[in-house]
Structure 1
């Protein structure tokens, strides 16, 4: 019998790519998504259309904040593994519409946790974010460091997910693994991400907004590396850490079946260098509009991925130039 996996946010960027990978290896995938209009719905529908044509995939349009609908889904499901990628994304948008983050990232995630408990799910893998590091400045960011100073509601909601997951691991023995993603990019990506909007504006001959006058660094991580990390972690069900101590509590593990890992390229790139690499892939020069630092942003992200490598034997390694070239090729094809 194929393993049955629930992927929330299946019409999203990472959810689409993960679903493709799971279907290719023979898993049965149930994908859910509310297809909201945070960014162009047509792109989500195009991703979904490519999934729905495959054997082993079933889709349900569903909002995780709908408690009754989520409870019904899990009661019918019989899921072996749940990968929760559905969330209201975006740092700056959380300043404009905080309620969306409360509904999706807190209420919705609570419903997923309860569904996993009631449904006897063997492993919950869920998306956290590098944004949880907030005001931390010690680099590289380590899952063993305290992350109690978020600088956006989005970041706070992701930190809350980690805490909520731990409570379910402690109370009900639900194995939970949180993955802190670092600036994911690639084909079929999110139009609200900088690399996507930069590409659109460069091709249109429009200036691109560059915040903090370009003095930012990001640990850009190619989508295939993210998916490889998720798939390997799915197989690595956490167990209680026998050396965990309440006298010196380690945030990355627990006496409960709970772990948190970073997934990043482990090579932070200056934003201006990123733009130069994108220019080379496009064969066009960018017009830069240098702007001040924005509320909710962080100066730099840089992932310590030693724990991920030790646990599942994997380190992201796709060079930025290769990843951007693949994205640009997809972009030109998709948008003609």
Structure 2
């Protein structure tokens, strides 16, 4: 069954900590956090329920921005020989344009499809890192999302001394129809249950500071199978761009999955129950990998519990590094030496 599409409205600001720093927040909810939140929600509801059975086999994308009918994806980090000349960082013809391309973080579905086919849908013009086709750009508001800083306070248990600090949070322009969206790929028998699971997650919230109302969300569409320009099945395609955080297995690395790939990485860590989780490096959304070096599904789930946690007899701390691939066939070009 094709992946289900969920369009989300954020009723309150959210805080998605990055780099283990409580003060900073990512602009989007990454796939590993979303998967963990769905599993935690299923566990909260209770073992033996259909929701619990539906959570573990889920593969999800990260929650990317959207505005009305325009849905965004990560800027694909393509190998140089797959990109249009105008988008290449090393282009000597227009260094200013090349610098603008480096600042692009999110591209619309149509722009994404054009880029992976070696085209250039439009020149970057927005200062916020969003790129869309000329027609789509006319529908976008000046502000899609913004980061804000809210004050927080910690009281010492013994002395009651205050330790104020600042915490970042992300606010989407809901008045202009902006929010996020993601796809979830689950076995067909669990499709209806996954919708209920996301609804339950919206009531609990996602990210930090949920106890004071942060991270509340709701589904704004009727979840339906994806029908856009992305190729979510391998077919005869030779490459894929991951729409989620990705942790290749040892076997995939030995088969050469990373040899010709183009990707950036991010270190994931954090805390759980007073213990610092084991840090692990993941491939970021937008990385491009040769699909024929291994067989889907790509990636795996790993236990990031520290030794002290394991020695205390507690449960594993799972982190999802399963790729959510969008397949493509590159239109090669010659690259100047």
TM-score by length of 1: 0.28
Q: Which has the higher strand share?
A: 2
Larger radius of gyration: 2
TM-score by length of 2: 0.28
* Greater relative contact order, per chain length (Cα 8 Å cut-off, separation 6+): 2
